[in-house]
Structure 1
Amino acid sequence: MTAKETKKNTDTALLVIDVQESFRQREGWQAVSDPEVAEKVGELVDFARGRGDLVIWVLHAEAGSDTVFDPALGHVRLIEGLSAQAGEPVLTKTAHNAFTTTNLQQILTERGIRALITCGIRTEQCVETTTRLASDLGYDVTFVADATATEPIPDPGAPAGRSLAEVLADPLTLPPAQIIERTRYALAGRFATVTTVKELTGS
């Protein structure tokens, strides 16, 4: 799909999910799939605004947790270089998907949105979960794989409290490239059209 093939659709919204400073404060960010993911997200934001599509920003918060997701610590904010314009909703969620603990569905219904473009952090967690739920709710979803990012996932049976170096040295750790590829396979043709920034924007 290219920009020329995509007519202006005011019934489409771009969901920017959890592209927030919280993740850059974690040790795991040193091994993230794409430390510059915010730049690719920014390209999608410019593309969406240029078409007249609604841009919706979603942040994840865990109040009182004393973690990087605790708003009191100041990291629950968009990564530098990204900002919401007037009229663009900024939602705060406490669940993995962007629907359950926000008024996202109400906003989409009120605006007549029927198609969604999803991107953000983490690929297989909040972005994939939101994409799956959106599809089940009847939305036509496009998942922009290279505008997502994730970190290595340790083996579920591994001991807790290991350093990043120990996690990376473990052959049972799932690397980011494999995680993104598995998400692409899981979503394509089932829950979403899977594409790239270049394919979508034609740039």
Structure 2
Amino acid sequence: MTSSLPALIVVDVQCAFDQWEAAGKRRNNPDAAARIADLLKAFRASGAPVFHIRHEGTKPSSSFLPTDPGYVVKDEAREQPGEAVIVKRVNSAFIGTDLEQRLRAGNIATVVICGATTNHCVETTTRMAGNLGFDTRLVRDATWTFDRVGPDGDAHSAEAIHAMTLSNLDGEFARIVTTGEVIAALGAA
């Protein structure tokens, strides 16, 4: 029997991103962490499962080394007792972890994904969730990314990268939703 409640997957909401901002990197969706806090509150109130994903850097220059302050989880996304914490070392939360097995053992068919960054670990995890057959929802206002310069030297804004990533994922890998839509659906369940 499949669970009627979705699982929330919170990807890499770690202090390294605050350090990047403090160093001058510009991001979009400044309220994304607050929306993640809203999602966590709603999922906890409904009794739906929550999975916290942590990125553990493996290169000495990584902002996500477990011994560094960047590895720490942002206050808005701290786990509560009993909530799963899964550590990954690559972009996808499904590679080298037991996330898929935990979801399947819980008979979870629907996953709701939020976190950072839209075009890296969130996108990779979302693509894999869709490919693995989960009914996948990506929460557009509860994820963010940073400005980037492409291989051709052109500057790309965080807003444009975010929008393109959502466009690439929509329909084939996931349904793009808002925090409000997710919370309303949880209330209806």
User: Contact between 1:123 and 1:149, CA under 8 Å: does it hold in 2?
Assistant: yes
Equivalent residue number for residue 102 of structure 2: 107
Equivalent residue number for residue 20 of structure 2: 26
Matched length = 182
Q: 1:83 to 1:179 in 2, by over 3 A?
A: same
| Residue of structure 2 aligned with 1:176, choices 158, 168, 174 | 158
Unaligned runs of 5+ in 1: 1-7, 159-171
Q: CA RMSD in A?
A: 1.9
User: Contact between 2:9 and 2:114, CA under 8 Å: does it hold in 1?
Assistant: yes
| Residue of structure 1 aligned with 2:121, choices 113, 123, 126 | 126
Equivalent residue number for residue 166 of structure 1: none
For 2:98 and 2:168, the matched residues in 1 are separated by: 27
Deviations 1:4-52 (A, max 9, x none): xxxx933x21000011111111256641113342111011111112222
Q: 1:135 to 1:26 in 2, by over 3 A?
A: same
Bigger Rg over Cα: 1
Equivalent residue number for residue 75 of structure 2: 80
Structure 2-normalised TM-score? 0.89
**What does 1:1-40 align with in structure 2 at a 5 Å threshold?**
9-10=4-5, 12-27=6-21, 30-40=25-35
Stretches of 4+ aligned residues off by more than 6 angstroms: none
Q: Which one-letter code corresponds to 1:60 in the other structure?
A: H
Equivalent residue number for residue 55 of structure 2: 60
Displacement of 1:64: 5.2
Structure 1-normalised TM-score? 0.83
Equivalent residue number for residue 140 of structure 2: 145
Identity rate, percent: 32
For 1:71 and 1:36, the matched residues in 2 are separated by: 26
